[in-house]
Amino acid sequence: MATKKNRKFDFKDIEDLQVYMTAQGKIHPAKRTGLSAREQRRLKRAIKYARFLSLIPYVS
């Protein structure tokens, strides 16, 4: 899934974030996303910001 190195994630880009989430709303593990540890942390933060702002659900 990773297309380039040092990817940054924007909490406003919901469609991009949902690629890395299950239908239930869980975040896919790094093993599945193929992101580096730093990128996976960035993804985690972006998803959590989006959840806080009710852009994506915590559980669906």
- Nearer CB in complex with another protein: 32/45: 45
- Nearer CB in complex with another protein: 3/54: 54
- Examine residue 44 and tell whether it contacts another protein (CB under 8 A): no
How far out from the chain centre does Cα 33 lie?
9
- Examine residue 55 and tell whether it contacts another protein (CB under 8 A): yes
Q: Which of 19, 22, 38, 52: binder of another protein (CB under 8 A)?
A: 52
Query: Dihedral of CA 10/43/20/49: which sign?
Result: negative
Number of helices (H) and strands (E) in the chain: give both, helices first. Answer: 3, 0
